Structure 1
Amino acid sequence: MLAASSALYAQTGVAPDGFAEGLASRVAESIAEVWRVSPHRLHLEWGRMTLEHELPADVPFRLVGRGTDGWFAVAFTPSQRSTAAVRVRAGIEDTVVVATRPLAAGTQLAPGDFERTVRVRWRPPRAQPEALPDIGWQIRRPVAAGVELSSPAVSQPYVIAAGEPVRFTWSRGTVQVSVFGVALNAARAGDQVRARVEGRSGHVTGIATATGMAKLTGGSR
C-alpha cells in the first residue's frame, strides 16, 4: 500500500511528484466528465503523495466521490498488489460578489458595499444561473471585507409584501390571463406567493417574478 497525505501543494495545478506526463490530465478529464464541463476550465489542487515508483500515464484509477464540496479521492492501482491514493480539490473560475467593507446584519447592500470579481469556486458548476447580489439585497449575517456574498449571509429583497396587491399572469400561445389579488405572504423572486382575490373564496398561488408580479400556478376554493 502506498500512502498519501491530504496536505496540498501551494500552487494550483501542480501534480504530485511521481506522476508520469499525461496522468494528471487524465484525472482532470474524468472530473470534467463528472461535472460535465471542459477539462480546460478546471483548477486542481493536489494532495501530497510519497511513491516508491512513478505512476505511468496509463495507470488504472477511479474517482471516489462526486466532488460536491470540491473534493475527490483518486485511487490508483498500478498493480494487483499495490494501490495508491491522493486527494484532489477541483474548482472552476466564476464571477462572484465580495464585500468591500464590513457589513452589518439587518442592513441592505448599498453602492460601494461590494464589487464583482473572478474567483475559483471549489465546488461543481451551478446547475442553473444564479442572481448575483446587488443593491437592495438584505444582509442576514455579519460579513467581513473581502468575503464572498452568498446565501445564507445575504438574500434577495422581497418583491411582494403581505397585504400588497399582486398581479398573477398565465399564458399559453396567444392566450393570456391576468388575475389581481392581495398577497397573503411576503415573497422573494422565485418564492411561492398566495393571494386572496376579491369576490372569490379560497386563494390563488403563483411564483413571484418581479415587484408586485407573479406567474399563476394554481388556486383553491
Structure 2
Amino acid sequence: MLEDNYKQRGLRNKLVKILEKKGIQDQRVLAAVGKVPRHFFFETALLDHAYQDKAFPIGEGQTISQPYTVAFQTEKLELQPGDKVLEIGTGSGYQACILMEMGVRVYTIEYNRVLFERTREFLPLMGYKPYFFHGDGSKGLPAKAPFNKIIVTAGAPIVPNALVDQLVEGGILVIPVGDREKQYMLQIRKKEGKLIKTEFKGFAFVPLLGEQGWKS
C-alpha cells in the first residue's frame, strides 16, 4: 500500500523551498512538486534519498530526473490549463505526474519496453492516467498531433524535425541537446513559421534513443 505520511510531506515542502531558492518562480510548478509523492518512485533501500535534489537510477540504464531539472523544464513549457502536451521519455512517470498536476492532457511515449509496462501499470495506482505509448519518441506521435507543448526528457544530438512539425502555431518545445555527457536546454517557440530559440546551459540527461536520437 502506498503511504504518504506527515514526514514525507514535510520533506517535499523543504524540496519546494530549495527549488524556489534555485530560481524556480512559477508557483503552479512549485505546488505540483509539493503534491506528487516522489518517494513512491523509489525502492525501499533508497527512500531516504527521495527528496534530495538529485537524479537516481530506476533500472534499465535510466534515471528519475533531478527535481530541479523537472521543475525547470516544466516552467519553460509555460503551460496553460487544458494544454495538450507530448512527453518524450516516460521513464519513471514522475515528470508526467507533475505535468498532470498542472491541469494539462499528457501523451507520453517510452522507448524501453520494460519501463513502459512498469509505468503504465503503476501511475494509475497513484491516480494519474496519461495516455501511454511505446515507441520511438524521436518521431513524436504523429497520430495524435498537433500538440501545444512538447517536452523531451532525454538528451538528443539534434532537434528532431518531427517534433517541431507536431507543434501548433505558438507552441513550445523544451529539449536538451548536446553530446552523450552534457547538454544545453533549448526552449523553442514556433511563431509565424519561424523558430525562436532560447538556450540554457548546464544539464545532463540519459541519451534519447531512436531514429532521430542516439543509436542504442
Report TM bin, short chain. under 0.3
TM-score (norm 2): 0.27
Q: Which has the larger radius of gyration?
A: 1
In terms of fraction of residues, the more helix-rich structure is 2
TM-score (norm 1): 0.26
Q: Which has the higher contact order (CA 8 A, sep 6+)?
A: 2
In terms of fraction of residues, the more strand-rich structure is 1
